[in-house]
Amino acid sequence: MARPSPLEIYALLDKSNCKDCGYDTCMAFATDTLERKVKAQDCIHLMQDPKQAKNREKLIKLLTPPQKPVTIGTGEKAVTIGGEEILMRHQLTFYNQTALFIEIADDDTDLEDIIKYLSDLKIERMGDVLTLNGVALRNVSGDKEQFKLAAKRLTELSNLPVMLCSFNPEVLLAAAEEIKDKKPLLYAVTKDTWEQIGKFAIENNLPVVIASSNLDELMSLSATLQKFGVNEIVLDSGTYFGPGNLSVTYDNIMQLRTAAIDKEDANSCWPVMGVPAVYWSQVKIGNEKELWEHQYQEVIMGAIMGSIDTNLIVLHTGQKKEEIWALLALMTLRQSIFSDPRIYPAVDPGLYKIKEPKSNDPIFITSNYRMTKIPVEQDLQGANINCWLLVVDSEGIGIESAVAGGQFNAGAIAEAVKEFGVFDKVDHRILVIPGMAARLSGALEDEADAFVVVGPRDSSGIPKFMEKQWKPEEFMKEYESWSKD
Give, in order, the Cα–Cα distances in Å from 188 to each of 143, 167, 236, 380. Answer: 17, 6, 9, 50
CATH code for the domain in which residue 409 is found? 3.40.50.11600
Last residue of a domain, one of 39, 63, 87: 63
CATH code for the domain in which residue 23 is found? 1.10.15.40
pLDDT digits (tens, 9 = 90+) for 427-473: 999 999 999 999 999 999 999 999 999 999 999 999 999 999 999 99
Contact of 312 with 99, CB cutoff 8 Å: yes
Q: Which residues pair with 365 in a beta bridge?
A: 390
Closest CA to 283 of 267, 269, 296, 268: 296
Q: What is the pLDDT confidence band of residue 480, given thresholds at 50, 70 and 90?
A: confident
DSSP notation for 7-28: HHHHTTS------TTS-SSHHH
Domain assignment of residue 246, yes or no? yes
Last residue of a domain, one of 337, 371, 396: 337
DSSP state of 357: -
pTM for this model (two decimals): 0.84
User: What are the start-end ranges of the H helices in 144-240?
Assistant: 144-157, 169-179, 194-204, 215-228
Domain assignment of residue 1, yes or no? no
Is the domain of 303 the same as that of 184?
Answer: yes
Contact of 336 with 309, CB cutoff 8 Å: no
Domain assignment of residue 19, yes or no? yes
Is the domain of 58 the same as that of 171?
Answer: no
Is the domain of 73 the same as that of 30?
Answer: no
Is the domain of 323 the same as that of 453?
Answer: no
Structural domain count of the chain: 3
pLDDT at 242: 84
Tell me what the pLDDT averaged over the chain comes to: 94
Is the domain of 272 the same as that of 377?
Answer: no
pLDDT digits (tens, 9 = 90+) for 15-29: 889 988 889 999 999
Q: Is the pLDDT of residue 385 over 70?
A: yes
Is the domain of 218 the same as that of 360?
Answer: no
Domain assignment of residue 174, yes or no? yes
pLDDT digits (tens, 9 = 90+) for 41-95: 898 888 888 888 899 899 989 999 999 999 999 999 999 999 999 999 888 899 9
Query: Quick check: helix, strand or coil at residue 391?
Result: strand
**pLDDT above 70 coverage of the chain, percent:** 99
Is the domain of 270 the same as that of 368?
Answer: no
CATH code for the domain in which residue 102 is found? 3.20.20.20
Is the domain of 284 the same as that of 135?
Answer: yes
Domain assignment of residue 262, yes or no? yes
Is the domain of 301 the same as that of 420?
Answer: no
- Alpha-carbon distance 31 to 37, whole Å? 9
Domain assignment of residue 304, yes or no? yes
Contact of 123 with 136, CB cutoff 8 Å: no
Q: Helices 144-157 & 111-120, crossing angle to 10 degrees?
A: 30
Domain assignment of residue 383, yes or no? yes
Q: What is the pLDDT confidence band of residue 308, given thresholds at 50, 70 and 90?
A: very high
Structural domain for 425, as ranges? 350-483
Is the domain of 312 the same as that of 401?
Answer: no
Last residue of a domain, one of 303, 337, 371: 337
Is the domain of 455 the same as that of 384?
Answer: yes
Domain assignment of residue 454, yes or no? yes
Is the domain of 31 the same as that of 73?
Answer: no
